[in-house]
Structure formats: C-alpha cells, structure tokens
Amino acid sequence: MRQYLEFHPSLCFPDTEVSQLSKDVIPWGEYRMYFSGCLQQQHQSNSSKFLLGEHSPGYLKAKVSSVLKKYCPQTKAIILLRNPVDKVYSYWWMDLCKSRHNISFAEYIKSKTKGDVMSSAYYYDQVANWLKNFPLSKNQVFIVKSETFFAETRQVLEDIQRFLDIPFYNYKPEELATFGSGPLCVKRLGERPKMDPIIRKSLENKFRSDVTKLEKLLQRDFNWF
C-alpha cells in the first residue's frame, strides 16, 4: 500500500519502516528525525494539503492506537486485511524466498503456532482495539480487504484519497504495477505452489470464529471462507 501512496504529491513517508510507536518508551526526538526529509518536502510543496505517514504491519496489534489517540488525535489510519489463511501462507513463502528457512508449510505453521505470524492473523482483538480509540463514526479508520485492493487498485486508491481529504491524483498505469516481494520470489523460486487443501481447511476452521466476530464488529462480510 505504501508504495502506491508515495506517488501522491500530498503524501510523504520516511524512506525506511519506522516502527517507533510500538516501543515502551518512544524516542520522540529520534522519531521526528525520520520525517526530516518529509518536513522539508512539506515546506516546498504547493499542495493545499500535505500529510505525513508511516506504515508498519506490527502497528495493528501493538498499543499504537492508544499512543496516537493521546499524542496525535487527528490521526487517520488505513487497515489492510487479508484472508488470514493466505496471509500466513504468504509469510511462509516470503521467508522461504528470503532464505530464512527451508521447511514445508506444514512444518512452518507448527513452528509458528504461538508466534507473531499466527497471532497477527487473528484480527478481531486488534481491530477492536483500534476502533476503541478511533471509532468508525469519526471517519478516522479506513478498512479494506487486501483482495479488493489487489483487484481494484485504482478504485481503492481513489477511495483512500477521499478518506484522507487530499487533492485528487490520477495514477499513471505504470504506477499501479505490482510491488512487494512477489515478482522477486517468482524469479528465485518459480510460481508459488498451491496450498494443500487439507491444511487450508484446517486453518480456515482455526480462524473462522475470529473472522465471524470481526464481521459482526464491522457489520460486513469478508467472504474469505
């Protein structure tokens, strides 16, 4: 998501993933330095609105929403949610691609049962915590399915521009190209194999209750399973 938003002239992100807001003690001076380039760009911008942002998948489950409510109550957050089964599978493939392991997916999920990979795919508590600090009624949280974003990238980016209330930017076709580690992994390992249907069914059953609670919370169907 970040790579697409960076094309917008009214948005700026640090060059690296910051992840400072999830620390127990936030080094505000160090945190501000990450945005020095953005602040300079903001000063030079002719845009009527200029927003600073950052991204970190870990922010969804950390206590970040409480920190932002206290120190930056005007925050607007974009939450991208992927089918939890596909998310875990994607983590396995990415870790394999980056030579972090050389084990099967079945072995991988056994090794990650109590780890961050599996816990991050249980969305209900994470999203509920964000909405406790930034209720949907305040229009400060935009939640979109990854599958929708992949299939309708231009439309979702237009929706996000309206959500952020920034000038409209018409993305060039080449700016909507696929980002991330996918193309690199295909080059290194070939096409990602399909998941064993028995394992998929088992994981769907594992996540089903959490997804049901999430759908009730947001009053929408995700149609993942």
User: Tens digit of pLDDT for each residue in 155-168?
Assistant: 999 999 999 999 99
State the pTM of this model. 0.89
Q: Is the pLDDT of residue 214 over 80?
A: yes
User: Tens digit of pLDDT for each residue in 198-212?
Assistant: 999 999 999 999 999
Task: Read off the pLDDT band of 62 (50, 70, 90).
Answer: confident
Residue-range domains of the chain with CATH: 2-218 (3.40.50.300)
Q: Is the pLDDT of residue 186 over 70?
A: yes
pLDDT, position 181: 62
DSSP class of residue 52 equals: E
User: Tens digit of pLDDT for each residue in 8-61?
Assistant: 999 999 888 887 887 777 888 888 888 888 888 887 777 668 999 998 888 898
Taking residue 102's Cβ as centre, other Cβ atoms within 10 Å add up to 8
